């Protein structure tokens, strides 16, 4: 490690300066994740329609962050006297896979049904955001405790401060693990096609001075074979009642390769990502996005005109390939329906 790098325990625990979702009392400011790391530009959403559009277009992304943004969208609608049932329905339909979106909207809906007005809804949205940050810090401790000192880890997509209220889920475990000396090397897959790993995770890791290497997604099995990583650590968009987990496309193949190479596989997500009403991964809707996201790179067409593409942006990792699910309520090792029920009820 470079001698001037400040990776003391205290600094890593507290050096968590990125906040991508900021409420300003009458507008929601979002750090536009489509432009990072080239440009740090904020967009202002003045109403629920603009929040919905920002979620659809991935200006804000990551399961917890879209739930938080949607809650603020409901607050804007309430302040402006917009029809809340319509707003709830439109926001809910913005993206299908991450259940945090539906969870946050159901929470807001419950408050509306109880007669809450704009000020009370504002307090609820703030609680959703604050609770997410607290959950991430707690999961960081729980997840890091599973990792032997001196380990290397591989992560996928972006699960950090940009994807949450702050600190991150899988990236929170990595932050805590580096601070504790349990993790000494981090690898991040670039996460084609949208490059969340290359553009966003590397941005966070470099800012926090965490030693990290970017790898091509297709280098993952080779990395595991080299013995450089002992854990794959990822986030989740929805965890079904049997522990099957939907996450960014490419996660499933990482889990298969990890099992083959004796590398452990950890999923880190707040309980707002757990959906006990969905029995298993088969029942999770996988978002299909436009083929253009694959046919072009950085806005420039790279594939011959006339070519077609299939662009599912999530996949499901079966529970039997997961060694540990870490939530703020605790750790489930070797998850299955019974262990999930014991922790989450239903
Ligand atoms: O399409 P995205 O960028 O919203 O997908 C994000 C992911 O798949 C993350 O891994 C997941 O939401 C967890 S974020 C803490």
Q: Are residues 202 and 223 in the same domain?
A: yes
Q: Are residues 115 and 144 in the same domain?
A: no
Q: Are residues 103 and 167 in the same domain?
A: no
DSSP assignment of 248-275 equals: ETTHHHHHHHHHHHT-EEEEE--GGGEE
User: Is 323 one of the annotated active-site residues of the chain?
Assistant: no
Q: Are residues 129 and 148 in the same domain?
A: no
pLDDT in tens, 268-292: 999 999 999 999 999 999 999 999 9
Position in ligand 1 atom list of the atom nearest CA 156: 10
- Give this prediction's pTM: 0.96
What is the pLDDT at residue 80?
98
- Angle subtended at Cα 319 by Cα 193 and Cα 235, rounded to the nearest 5 degrees: 40
pLDDT in tens, 158-187: 999 999 999 999 999 999 999 999 999 999
117 C-alpha to ligand 1 centroid (Å):
31
Q: Are residues 28 and 161 in the same domain?
A: no
Q: Which residues 6+ apart lie within 8 Å of 170 measured at CB? A: 143, 155, 159, 233, 234, 235, 266, 267, 268
Examine residue 74 and state whether it is found in any structural domain, yes or no. Answer: yes
198: domain CATH number is 3.40.50.10470
Per the structure block, which two tokens stand in for 66? Answer: 């879209």
* pLDDT average, residue stretch 29-52: 98
- Percent of the chain clearing pLDDT 90 (strictly above): 93
pLDDT band (50, 70, 90) for residue 298: confident
Q: Are residues 127 and 146 in the same domain?
A: no
Final residue belonging to a domain, choices 68, 99, 134 = 134
285 C-alpha to ligand 1 centroid (Å):
15
Final residue belonging to a domain, choices 108, 134, 160 = 134
Cα 167 to Cα 179: distance, rounded to the nearest angstrom: 13
User: What secondary structure, in 3-state letters, does 211-227 show?
Assistant: CEEEECHHHHHHHHHHC
Examine residue 6 and state whether it is found in any structural domain, yes or no. Answer: no
Q: Are residues 254 and 193 in the same domain?
A: yes
Ligand 1 lining (C-beta closer than 6 Å): 61-64, 98, 157, 159, 163-164, 169, 196, 235-237, 247-248, 313
- Percent of the chain clearing pLDDT 70 (strictly above): 96
Per the structure, the complete domain to which residue 24 belongs is given by 18-134
Q: Are residues 193 and 51 in the same domain?
A: no
pLDDT in tens, 185-239: 999 999 999 999 999 999 999 999 999 999 999 999 999 999 999 999 999 999 9
Candidates 132, 237, 244, 323; catalytic one: 237
Q: Is a pLDDT exceeding 60 seen at residue 13? A: no
Cα 330 to Cα 73: distance, rounded to the nearest angstrom: 31
pLDDT in tens, 55-74: 999 999 999 999 999 999 99
Final residue belonging to a domain, choices 68, 102, 134 = 134
Q: Are residues 124 and 111 in the same domain?
A: yes
91: domain CATH number is 1.20.120.420
Domain count, the chain: 2
Examine residue 11 and state whether it is found in any structural domain, yes or no. Answer: no
What is the pLDDT at residue 8?
55
What is the pLDDT at residue 4?
37
Cα 238 to Cα 230: distance, rounded to the nearest angstrom: 24
């Amino acid at each position: 490690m470079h001698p001037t790098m400040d990776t003391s325990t205290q600094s890593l625990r507290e050096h968590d300066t990125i906040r991508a979702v900021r409420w300003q009392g009458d507008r929601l400011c979002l750090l536009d994740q489509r432009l990072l790391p080239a440009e740090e530009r904020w967009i202002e959403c003045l109403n629920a329609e603009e929040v919905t559009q920002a979620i659809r277009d991935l200006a804000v992304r990551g399961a917890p962050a879209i739930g938080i943004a949607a809650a603020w969208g409901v607050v804007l609608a309430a302040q402006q006297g917009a029809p809340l049932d319509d707003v709830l329905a439109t926001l809910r339909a913005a993206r299908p896979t991450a259940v945090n979106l539906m969870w946050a909207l159901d929470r807001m809906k419950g408050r509306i049904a109880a007669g809450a007005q704009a000020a009370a809804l504002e307090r609820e949205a703030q609680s959703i955001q604050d609770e997410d940050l607290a959950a991430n810090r707690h999961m960081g401790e729980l997840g890091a405790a599973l990792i032997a000192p001196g380990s290397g880890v591989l992560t996928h997509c972006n699960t950090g401060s940009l994807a949450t209220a702050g600190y991150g889920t899988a990236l929170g475990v990595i932050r805590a693990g580096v601070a504790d000396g349990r993790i000494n090397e981090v690898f991040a897959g670039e996460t084609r096609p949208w490059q969340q790993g290359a553009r966003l995770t590397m941005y966070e890791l470099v800012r926090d001075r965490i030693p990290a290497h970017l790898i091509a997604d297709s280098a993952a099995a080779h990395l595991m074979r080299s013995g450089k990583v002992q854990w794959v650590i990822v986030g989740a968009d929805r965890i079904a009642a049997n522990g099957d987990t939907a996450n960014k496309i490419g996660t499933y193949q990482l889990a298969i390769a990890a099992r083959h190479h004796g590398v452990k596989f950890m999923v880190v997500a707040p309980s707002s990502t757990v959906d006990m009403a969905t029995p298993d991964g088969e029942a999770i809707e996988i978002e299909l996005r436009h083929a253009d996201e694959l046919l072009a790179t950085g806005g420039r067409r790279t594939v011959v005109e006339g070519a077609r593409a299939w662009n599912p942006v999530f996949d499901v990792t079966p529970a039997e390939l997961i060694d540990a699910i870490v939530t703020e309520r605790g750790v489930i090792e070797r998850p299955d329906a019974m262990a999930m029920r014991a922790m989450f009820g239903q």
